[in-house]
């Protein structure tokens, strides 16, 4: 793998039209609608309600699992998604057309035995107006590509978690087929669907997408400290610390300090922290 070549890699803009069906499919993949009597959940899965779950920006304008392409030189079977960030600049329209523009922003070599960190970002704009809707950042650990050399030594430190007991705790189940459902949003990495690929990557069976786990955690935050006000999240960031097996129950603990919500998520059945150093920066509520 040549880090400088990845830095120069050109990605064609991805133009994507999404509909009410797409936003409902995304929300269903996160488990929204599990309570068919909860109107707050149903607002994200019914055509007539028109609400878009805020983390849907993560799957819009996505260039696909490009690390699998031969010219990258990446040992893609050993790639792990380790961090995600997003900044929401405007509410996502109920349906419309967007353009995603992706670029690699840096590679940090951690050494032959530890792998390399690949940083990329995607800007999502409204197709007609060019209005910036969201910026999405992703960090991947390339476990098989250590020793490749770095293009930068800049690493953003993890968010410091509060030392007190959590202010809120919420448990949400995931479906055994959650990864198969979530992959229909465009992330077709076979580690989430093919048992042989998952075993080759060191997992006992296909794992859940990190971004699905992230979305489940944000669901817990909306249902808890945010009181279902999906207009308030502005910047979100989290680290993926362990894979989730579809069907596990996810417990999200949160701490609220002014306009900052910190969160951590644990797979209850294994007692394993799967998301850590989570932080959501909120827009101040409208005083009216």
Q: Which residues are catalytic?
A: 187, 192, 207, 210
Distance separating alpha carbons of residues 40 and 288, to the nearest angstrom:
22
The DSSP bridge pattern shows strands 14-18 and 96-109 to be: antiparallel
- Long-range CB contacts (within 8 A, 24+) of 64-71: 64/186, 64/188, 65/187, 65/188, 65/189, 66/11, 67/118, 67/140, 68/189
Burial 188-217 (b: 16+ CB within 10 A, else e): ebbbbbeeebbeebeeeebbbbbbbbbbbb
CA 244 to chain centre: 13
Contact 15, 60 (CB under 8 A): no
Question: Helix, strand, or coil here: 100?
Answer: strand
DSSP code, position 77: G
């Amino acid at each position: 793998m040549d880090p400088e070549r990845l830095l120069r890699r050109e990605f064609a803009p991805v133009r994507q039209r999404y509909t009410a069906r797409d936003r409902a499919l995304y929300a269903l993949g996160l488990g929204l609608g599990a309570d068919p009597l909860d109107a707050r959940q149903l607002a994200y899965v019914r055509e007539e309600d028109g609400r878009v779950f805020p983390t849907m920006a993560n799957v819009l304008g996505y260039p696909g699992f490009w690390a699998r392409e031969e010219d990258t030189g990446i040992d893609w079977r050993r790639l792990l998604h380790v961090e995600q960030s997003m900044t929401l600049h405007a509410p996502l329209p109920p349906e419309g057309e967007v353009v995603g523009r992706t670029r690699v922003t840096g590679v940090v070599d951690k050494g032959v035995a530890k792998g390399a960190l690949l940083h990329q970002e995607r800007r999502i704009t409204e197709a007609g107006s060019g209005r910036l809707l969201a910026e999405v950042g992703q960090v991947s650990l390339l476990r098989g590509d250590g020793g490749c050399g770095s293009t930068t030594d800049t690493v953003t430190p993890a968010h410091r978690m509060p030392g007190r007991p959590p202010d809120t705790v919420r448990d949400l189940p995931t479906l055994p087929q959650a990864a198969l459902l979530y992959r229909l949003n465009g992330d077709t990495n076979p580690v989430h669907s093919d048992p042989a690929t998952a075993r080759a990557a060191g997992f006992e069976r296909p794992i859940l997408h990190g971004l699905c786990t992230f979305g489940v955690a944000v669901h817990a935050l909306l249902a808890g400290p945010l009181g279902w006000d999906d207009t308030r999240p502005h910047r979100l960031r989290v680290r993926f610390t362990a894979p989730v097996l579809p069907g596990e129950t996810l417990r999200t603990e949160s701490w609220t300090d002014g306009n900052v919500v910190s969160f951590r998520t644990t797979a209850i059945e294994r007692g394993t922290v799967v998301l850590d150093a989570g932080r959501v920066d909120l827009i101040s509520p409208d005083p009216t």
